[in-house]
Structure 1
Amino acid sequence: MQHLRQLLEIENSELARLLRFSLYGLEATLNHAITEFPLDPGAKLCDDVLQELRNLLQPAPLQQNNGWEDMTDDLKLRHLRETFDSDSELSYYLGNSQLQSQTDSDLWNEIQRKLLRVPEDLAASWRSRTLNMAQEVGAIADNSNLYQLPFIRNEIIYPGLSGTVETQGLSLSQQALLNSQIPQGNTSNLPAGFLYLYIKFIEIEPDLHHALKSVFSFDIISLHSKPEQRHQYIEALSDRFGRTQKADENADPLSILRAWIDMDEAIHSLVFVPPSERYSWWGKLQHESRRILKKVTDEAINAGNEVRIRQLSGLYADICALSKDDLQLDCGGIPGEVLTCLRVYARINQEESPGRVIFRSSR
């Protein structure tokens, strides 16, 4: 284990990334297997192996610096920081929390990741401003040095910087997904894409929360401050991924539909506080799951089933009869409206399944 950890901690190492993806794949496989064979004589030992894997894969804690104010005074991008923090339109979508980064490199990435949560036109405008401010201090956009997130397509999410500020940008990478050793090497597999993308994004984004009912019913939980919740959320996501794979193998339209409803819930339950705007980069990414859900719904209907799926939105008072165990926030969006639909409402052959939402309190 010692050498595994040492390799995992090497920065900018393709071998370290390959090892991490492989270990996540092993963790997902064992989670699925132990669900399938709970009475297996190796089940207890398998639990211990899973715990060792979780400890090994747990991100290192962020380093605290008592000289935080002195470090921020030395930032080349200090003006960018101040301008970003004081923008009231951004605060509407992101809440009132201030930027926390202590270095120019971290600050660039923190700002760019926050822009993934606001409407795309606002994000595009602000991304242009960030590049202009970076150029003012001698840094330029650099698309050659990118941290790769595994997914079903290639996409530069935002550039890094070179010059007076050196830092990585962020991208989606089909090759990184292939290196994750997904079942059958199927790089068009959207559930696998979301599984491995989320696992990696959770590592680099301390603002992420989860609202998955099967893990914790009563609140929206920070994955950064609650590592046990992080592990449980990833386990649940991995399990639901396994069920979509099994349903596809059985080729039963209703089994596929029910598995996708559960997978879609897990995908949409990875949230920010306040939740990302619907037409943000993050909102559109998650909506890809809903498009697949519509496709499998149509296939179930074509097979002779009566199916109604509804994404819950609008005024909470208008949809609350179709939802259950909803969560309430006092920030983001418009008071009294749904902020995000965690689980769709479904009626399948007269059997109803309530949806679940996060809504803004009307106060």
Structure 2
Amino acid sequence: MHLYSSVALMFGWAIMVGAVAYLVLAFISLLAHRRDRVGGPPFRCSTMVLKPLCGREPGLEAALESFLTQQTAGPVRYVFGVAAEDDGALPIVRSLMKRRPEVSIDVVVDARTHGSNPKVSNLINMTEAGMDEVVVIADSDVVIQPGALQALLDEFRTPEVGSATCLYRGRTSRPHGFVSSLGALYLDGWFLPTAVLHARLATPQVCYGPMTALRREVLQGGGGFQALANSLADDTELGHLTRRQGYRIAIAPVIAETLVNERGIGDLFSHELRWAKTMRALHPLGYVGMIFTHPGPVSLALTIFDPSIPTACAALVLVLLRWTLVSVVHRKFGRAPGLAAPGPVLLVLREQIYFCVWVAGFFGRRIHWRGRRFEIGDGATLRPSLGGAGHAFNEA
């Protein structure tokens, strides 16, 4: 028994040391991160912005309008796609079309499916009539600031850039919703530091779901959206098809905001569990290593089973490092409206929740996505689960 206790303590301390190293590296990467825009005149091209929609989501109108008010050097047309004429998003789109007649907007209503991923089916239907020089794919729940679209397009001044994407933070559509704030906090305090660290250590290999732009020839050269019809993570695959053709992925110096609409802790857990299982399917070994990014329960257990000054100090250091890291994120990237600055206690709670999500992500292949059940197949593919019901999904 003493041997097992010693091994457990060594294992716990190894995780604590690794977690401190990760947080320090993320902190240094954030301090070194620059968001300078590409120099030169605005890049001019014909652009189509694809907005796959499904249902009347909270904050949808403001999210769509943040795109329609963008100013760009070249012509832009927006394509909104739904699977059914009675989709709740259509009245909002038609209202925006009346308010902004100067904006080029097309609406595609098409229920045809082309694979297991209904969002990609929507994108295929939306581009059947052709594509412009640059194709931008943006989720329905994304809010961008003025100038963000042009900043994304400016990355294509460099001929080696085949696709451009951007980092994103959380934005609660319910300013006083505690669960929604927890979801937004995960994006700010866990996703963003990790993404910045990855970009610092290696050339970007993937695109991020909220907003990505590709050259038309890159998308077509990779097989078009048809090549993603059965992909679990279509945004990741967009990055892969870019890299396979020898092009570079650029991260634009803008920050998008993703609306977090979960009402209850169960909804939040299910949403984050889908992300977790997606990451496990894409990078099994990397998923195991994520223990270093949320070690809170391990440090708590170590403090309980080995109550001493060193363990208590180590646990305190982890909390303070995370608190400092989130503060730096908010200074570098700003904080979305309605999201309060988190204190140490809230950060500890947030870490415990995601640790539970991470553990649950090791079990099973079934995921729930907008009322439908799917199973993750080999090679991070997606297939409908027997008995699954519901409608198409279009969120990240």
TM (norm. structure 2) is 0.27
Task: Identify the structure with bigger relative contact order (alpha carbons < 8 Å, sequence gap 6+).
Answer: 2
TM (norm. structure 1) is 0.29
